[in-house]
Structure 1
């Protein structure tokens, strides 16, 4: 059976109903107008006719009106701000009253006895030299064993005589241990020579820290994935070598010396030598913050690695301004603090290297100065600004990060004739080696050197070390002048003079070559006519004589 079509309801109204609705709407609107009239609110806003053009002093009137308007707005803003401040004070009083009520009675009694609370001191600047020196002294005072971390690329430059002398002068049973970090960036023969050289003063442990630690969960996942692989490259950034040897050494020393309590080991050194990375590698997780930027660690921090061993991380040693410019570029925080430009630091580093090795390492053509090198390097890496202009600032920052971070391979030669520093003697050396398991250190270093994959001698850049870097343990040691800056200026002047002399020598060589070529072309050849220039006598007598031609001289 077919369903009947359903019709929609019609919207048509009867006239009576429609008129009734219209009447109700009119009455409602009339009522609203009447109420508005009683209140004095008119619906229509009267239009401002303004100042007519014919009125005298029209501009002055308009100016006064604008000033009045601005004054009214300022008063409104002031009232608004005053209300906000009143509300904020009211809220603060309510919070203080609530905190006082919630305070325990013992704390209230202490406050009443002491009287009014002293004003809060402002927080110290953590990046100031005074704060960093104070934190470093805290680490040295609190530690039983001090580990000085050295960069294997320049171990002598990473040593601080003031720091070592301060540790030896503290007295007691404090021990000093050297850790040679970043050995994977130096040729193997060079590492072995440095270990032999440094072992004559203090015990030395070879170390390669892990640079890819995140946390325990991530590490566990990575370990499962790596275990399933057949081929394993043990020299990657995630691998760590020397941590077992160092941890066992410290635990064994703690068992011998510490009857009660735990052995406190302070890890010190210049910025970016890998202090926090060593602690993370021994701990096996990200216990301390690490980063490419120098000076990441600002405060003293304790990390438990065993029941009877604690590692203390602290800020880097503040370098003295009296150091050479190359040492300041690598060891100090002048660039980060804005005391030195990145371009100046790059220029100082390029002076200590062989140009051909730099060209091969960065794959750039020959260059005359540091600015030209940075221009070529920026073009090679694609560091370009608007209009295709090379960004030398970014190129310099990248170059400096390569040298201070764990990326670039460069090495320094170990001294052949070794002599003890003035603050060391044979008795002190023997005392520092007492209590350590030297055989354990020797076998551990051999295992570490076998496991690490070292770069070739040809692929590593030769670097000229400037010797030990002097550091500051108190702000009073900072000299008034800046010899380092003066030295840079003198070296810059010398470089400019040398460049000028080189240019003059090149110009003289080019002129000599041109003269030789001319002489070769003038030489007599078979079948060719040789023309020689005749010297012309230009004198006063010839100049004064008459220009008339004398036929008797040629035709006689």
Structure 2
């Protein structure tokens, strides 16, 4: 509105109107920005900054990058040329008349060659049991000393009689040593008793690997800092590597003063073979993790100039083993041959219920499914609707048992010599090894490690040595059928009840929310009011 005696109207508006306009503008800009982000408009690719001038060895880095680029281009051109030649060959075969139709012998020979090529391709399956067995046999053949790695929580269960017999019967006078790993998860008394028990058969080395090792590039960066800033935590500390290294050096000096001592590291999956090699090397040379069966092939690592270690895949467990042994030491779960819930159920049967409740801080449970549900709710393994994720909870439980986290121990038993071992073989195996140095090294290791309390450790019932498969033809044999006695029938009935409970709980939790009616006291709410209506007066 134009006021009197003024040439132009005022542009001033009320604050409420100005704020509305600003709000509309913000909403419009936000809407445009959202649409452009959905379409992908305005996303610029980041430009490669290149190598800075202050970087050391800049010219070498640029030269390596240029060589890598040229190599990639050459490979691309080579692949293009191969495809071109293959197309030309197909066209030539399609156009030219086949002489194989006239000559059946030539056709048969061609089919035989194709079959052999396909069989060779299928034989190189790195995940097959035949390939894993062949790799373990190759490690045994090429090694002078064999380190059988045993988990200190169940050393007897992690022993493989077939492996020990194969090492002792191979030519070349091979030495066999037992390495007890993860000793920081077992009470000290239990570790000392196991060492005294196993020393009657083979030399035993107590070992605690470091789980905080990094790659070579990160290791070089850490050297710039003083030792006071480096990681000194419990997981980063390692014990027993100096003792084992000194033992191997002394044996190398006596047996092979000029040659290289080859040491093979074997054992069941997830006992710490790769972690042992990484600890002795001082950096992450082999891939290691919580997942079972990461190592699929043989790998050699030079610890010193005259000392080489061979990393091997895990021993393939025989199907004739008890279910508890298969759940801990085999790859049945990863291969899909066994259910995760079934593996957890078999493990819980071997443990004391009260100790498991105290270890995981869960209330009393009736069966394994209820325990997995309680563990999932405690750790937050939930899916949509607040339903417990049973698979994730069971997998985490198995990872605790096979990884270097959970503390449990098995009772020490008085062992007698196995049938494949005699007193003469025991003395022959210990010949050439400095046992006094090994004893002092084990004592120093046992004094330095921090052990858990026996009350906080779960006691496990050991099932004895675990049978393994070393010959590829024997891998394909089926398990021996076991008659269904009363124990088996009870086991099946219990499994059916647990599955029914699981289906019932999932059905109740996934259904819609139902509101329950709350009883209301009518005498208090309507009895004291004057306008309360009495239906009995009019409808008699």
- Tell whether the structures are fold-level matches, with TM greater than 0.5: yes
* Higher CA-based Rg: 1
The 3 A distance-change label for structure 1 pair 225 and 492 is: farther
The 3 A distance-change label for structure 1 pair 299 and 391 is: same
SS in 2 for 1:445: helix
> What displacement does 1:432 show?
0.8
Matches within 5 A, 1:157-556: 157-219=157-219, 227-228=227-228, 236-415=234-413, 417-478=414-475, 480-483=477-480, 486=482, 491=487, 493-495=489-491
> 1:205-224 deviations in whole A, cap 9, x for unaligned?
00001111112343455577
> 1:455-496 deviations in whole A, cap 9, x for unaligned?
00011100000000000001332474424x858997553246
**Which residue of structure 2 aligns with residue 22 of structure 1?**
none
Task: Tell me how far apart the structure 2 counterparts of residues 208 and 401 of structure 1 sit (CA, whole Å).
Answer: 19
The 3 A distance-change label for structure 1 pair 166 and 90 is: closer
> 1:280-338 deviations in whole A, cap 9, x for unaligned?
10011111111111111111111111121110111111000000000000010000000
Are the aligned partners of 2:145 and 2:176 in contact in 1 as well (CA < 8 Å)?
Answer: yes
**Which residue of structure 2 aligns with residue 148 of structure 1?**
148
Report the aligned-residue RMSD.
Answer: 2.9
Question: 1:92 and 2:84 equivalent?
Answer: yes
The 3 A distance-change label for structure 1 pair 473 and 500 is: closer
For structure 1, list consecutive stretches of 5 or more residues without a partner in the other structure. Answer: 1-86, 98-115, 502-556
> What displacement does 1:498 show?
8.0
Task: Tell me how far apart the structure 2 counterparts of residues 488 and 253 of structure 1 sit (CA, whole Å).
Answer: 52
The 3 A distance-change label for structure 1 pair 500 and 476 is: closer
Task: Tell me how far apart the structure 1 counterparts of residues 459 and 226 of structure 2 sit (CA, whole Å).
Answer: 35
How many residue pairs get aligned? The number is 393
**Which residue of structure 2 aligns with residue 539 of structure 1?**
none
Matches within 5 A, 1:74-85: none
For structure 2, list consecutive stretches of 5 or more residues without a partner in the other structure. Answer: 1-78, 90-112, 498-540
Task: Tell me how far apart the structure 2 counterparts of residues 480 and 403 of structure 1 sit (CA, whole Å).
Answer: 29
The 3 A distance-change label for structure 1 pair 369 and 222 is: farther
SS in 2 for 1:176: strand
> What displacement does 1:153 show?
0.4
Are the aligned partners of 2:130 and 2:473 in contact in 1 as well (CA < 8 Å)?
Answer: no
> 1:185-238 deviations in whole A, cap 9, x for unaligned?
100110000000000100000000111111234345557767326xx9966111
Task: Tell me how far apart the structure 1 counterparts of residues 166 and 454 of structure 2 sit (CA, whole Å).
Answer: 37
The 3 A distance-change label for structure 1 pair 336 and 370 is: same
SS in 1 for 2:121: coil
Are the aligned partners of 2:130 and 2:475 in contact in 1 as well (CA < 8 Å)?
Answer: no
